Structure 1
Amino acid sequence: MSSLCWWLLSGAILLEVAGTTCLKISHGLTRALPAGLVIVFYAGAFVFLARAMKGLEMGVAYAVWAGTGTALTATIGILLLGEGFHWQKILGIACIIVGVAALQSVRG
């Protein structure tokens, strides 16, 4: 069950990142397709997150979901959306990755 929960959490992360990316390209929810995808992706992310939490500690699951999603979203912003690339941003992303790795090591 625990392995399945981590796969579900991974799916939740990817859906949340896709939803957040669509939120950005929807230009304030004024573009219909990306705005609709925001709803679909976020709904899917919460369903997967809820299922993952059946077998994972809430604090660990939420921290990994939020932290990994934040790091991936910031990376997509830099690489695909032309957002600023500053050493402070990279340091912050690195700290998030280290924190997520620490939490995953507690997989009790």
Structure 2
Amino acid sequence: MSFFYLSIAIIAEVIATSALKASNGFSVLWPSLLTIVGYMIALFFLSLTLKTIPMGIAYAIWSGAGIILISTVGLIVFKQQLDVPACIGLSLMILGIIVINVFSKSTEL
């Protein structure tokens, strides 16, 4: 269940961050509310994850996957461009998440 909870936390964080962009500095009501609720859901499910996955590992996966997904949303939805160094960095994050999940024995307490 830990990785299911972590997945929910990641998705909620990506939705909240996307809504934060759309909220225009919390000046638009519905995206602002979605931002607040999304971050609450993300932190709740991240806290459940921390019961069984070490904090550093869970946070590395949560933040890394969130950055990768929100960069993709920015590219597709908000038409934000990524340069070559950004793409290289995101690729290294993907590789890091794969290494942690496939090779690390630290993902379960």
Corresponding residue to 2:95 among 77, 95, 98: 98
Amino acid at match of 2:44: V
Task: State the alpha-carbon separation in 2 of the partners of residues 91 and 57 from structure 1.
Answer: 27
User: Could you state the TM-score of these two structures normalised by the residue count of structure 2?
Assistant: 0.92
Tell me if the contact between 1:13 and 1:65 (Cα under 8 Å) persists in the aligned partners: yes
Tell me if the contact between 1:60 and 1:104 (Cα under 8 Å) persists in the aligned partners: no
Q: Does 1:43 align with 2:40?
A: yes
Partner in structure 1 of residue 24 of structure 2: 27
- What is the number of equivalent residue pairs in this alignment? 105
Q: Does 1:5 align with 2:24?
A: no
Task: State the alpha-carbon separation in 2 of the partners of residues 27 and 104 from structure 1.
Answer: 36
Task: State the alpha-carbon separation in 1 of the partners of residues 18 and 7 from structure 2.
Answer: 17
Q: Does 1:58 align with 2:55?
A: yes
Corresponding residue to 2:69 among 64, 69, 72: 72
Farther-moved stretch of structure 1 (54-63 vs 96-105): 96-105
Structure 1 unaligned segments of length 5 or more: list them.
none
Task: State the alpha-carbon separation in 1 of the partners of residues 82 and 61 from structure 2.
Answer: 24
Q: Percent identity?
A: 32
Once the two structures are TM-superposed, the CA of residue 22 in structure 1 deviates from its matched residue by 0.2
Once the two structures are TM-superposed, the CA of residue 85 in structure 1 deviates from its matched residue by 3.0
Task: State the alpha-carbon separation in 1 of the partners of residues 36 and 97 from structure 2.
Answer: 26
Question: What's the RMSD between the two structures over aligned residues?
Answer: 1.0
User: Could you state the TM-score of these two structures normalised by the residue count of structure 1?
Assistant: 0.93
Farther-moved stretch of structure 1 (95-104 vs 63-72): 95-104
